[in-house]
Amino acid sequence: MAVHVIEEANRCLQCKKPRCMEEGCPIHTNIPEMIRLFREHDMQTAAAMLFENNPLSVVCSLVCNHAGQCQGHCVRGIKGEPVHISAIENYISDSCFDRLKIDMLPPNGMKAAVIGAGPAGITIAIKLAQKGYKVTVFETRDKIGGILRYGIPEFRLPKSILDRYQEKMREMGILFRPNFSIGGSTSIRDLLDDGYKSVFIGTGAWRPRKLGIPGETFGNVFYAINYLNNPDVYRLGEKVAVIGAGNAAMDVARTAVRHGSRAVTVYVRGDKANASADEFEMAVVDGVDFVYMKSPVRITDDGIVLEDIADDGKGGFVSVPGTEKLYEADSIMVCISQVPQDRLVNRDRELHLNERGNLATTDGGETTMPGVFASGDVVTGAKTVVAAVAFSKKIAEDMDRYMQAHKD
């Protein structure tokens, strides 16, 4: 691994206008500087720079769509193979993470609450702690990570990385309330009344979207977000039909293969999968089959009935009459994204949803409840990890300005 990383770093051209950074990376990681420092044997400085820009650098180096982002914009990729930027970033971030000395401002005497310990919540907690706030993270589950732990398979993201993050956050003085759901016995108003100057909501998108077809309640139907939470408790059988073609569908299909299913087929409502190129290719390598231009009609005890669809010439698809057919399957996996839960909105009536069913916020991330901010999937719907981190960095600055303006 180390030899490969050194070879890749030496291939970097140190472009004066680095497309990998400026156009390819949603969080604008300074890739040329990272590689320069690595070449000069100053990994610790490189790791500190990476963490300051992206607290989840270790994670993003593993789960980002690199082919469509940094590596997809590498100049070397125009006529050959791009520099394997993600491998370099992962080597630096992972090797140096436990030794990082994080810059911290002195305590300012103010408290901030973070609801949800997913990508957005982790980012906010770290950034606010660095600014001197006493941060408490409230998490429904027993461990941090959110979608990172309970929605991404172990073979893509080892859970030990998230355990290391929790220890690092504890070193920073961040407190945790695990197995505790805000919106039940305790409301956001209770947090504000207890003296928290600001509250961040990063509860993610955990409610699966339904197909809305007959048979969806049958015992052979499962949702991606539930399955990936703990695949070991499911018995899917030999044949698995996966409905949906995004990255979550690839994760489900590849996980099912690893758990013994011999015939896993992804049925795509279109002429191509919309997962990242890397994830699609890995699914093919793992033996997953793909069938295109199919739309679900109903579910039976024996499988799923699909019909053919055709291009309507206007950018959409239309059903082809008379093409309904039963595709036999022991289990049907529904993987068509998720939306936020509504527990907090029902408990704190000052919070409002937008027309898409997500938490309504201003451009600065403030909700309709003064002093309460939100970002990540609970605002945008299911998106990428790096997108949640990038927006959450901005929200941390907005929360800081709000709290400084409202301090006693």
> Residue 299 has which token pair?
């579910």
d(CA 224, CA 209): 10
Are 199 and 295 contained in the same domain? no
Residue 207 burial (CB count, 10 A): 15
Least-confidence region, from 37-41, 76-80, 159-163, 250-254: 76-80
CB–CB of 149/229 below 8 Å? Answer: no
Contacts of 127 (CB under 8 A, 6+ apart): 55, 392, 393, 396, 397
In 3D space, the residue among 72, 310, 60, 345 whose CA is nearest the CA of residue 207 turns out to be 345
pLDDT tens digits, one per residue of 357-382: 677 788 778 888 889 998 766 666 55
The count of residues in the chain is: 408
pLDDT reported for residue 1? 56
237 compared with 68, residue with greater pLDDT = 237
Instruction: Confirm if 377 and 245 have CB atoms less than 8 A apart.
Output: no
For residue range 177-188, what is the model confidence (pLDDT) as tens digits? Answer: 999 988 878 888
The conformational region for residue 313 under phi > 0 = left, psi -120 to 50 = alpha, else beta, is: left
Tell me whether residue 106 is in a domain: no
- Domain co-membership, 302 together with 356: no
Q: Looking at the domain assignment, is residue 383 inside a domain?
A: yes
* Whether residues 7 and 95 fall in one domain: yes
Write out pLDDT tens, residues 224-233.
Answer: 989 999 999 9
Whether residue 143 lies inside any domain: the answer is yes
Q: 350 and 317 in one domain?
A: no
User: Above 60 in pLDDT, residue 344?
Assistant: no
Mean pLDDT of the chain: 91
Residue 150 belongs to domain with CATH number: 3.50.50.60
pLDDT band at 69 (very low <50, low <70, confident <90, very high): very high
- Asked if the model's pLDDT at residue 39 lies above 70, the reply is yes
* Judgement on whether residues 329 and 237 belong to the same structural domain of the protein: yes
* pTM of the shown model: 0.90
Instruction: Give the model's pLDDT for residue 319.
Output: 92
Mark whether 88 and 36 lie in a shared domain.
Answer: yes
How many domains, the chain? 3
Same domain, 33 and 49: yes
Kindly report which listed range (95-104, 152-161, 349-358, 389-398) carries the lowest average pLDDT score: 349-358
Question: What integer pLDDT is reported at residue 90 of this predicted model?
Answer: 96
Question: Mean pLDDT throughout 34-46?
Answer: 96
Can you give the pLDDT at residue 347?
Answer: 57
Q: Are residues 331 and 352 in the same domain?
A: no
Rounded distance, CA 101 to CA 48, Å?
A: 8
pLDDT of residue 93: 97
Domain harbouring 70, CATH code: 1.10.1060.10
- For residue 44, give its domain range: 2-99
Mean predicted confidence (pLDDT) in 308-314 = 89
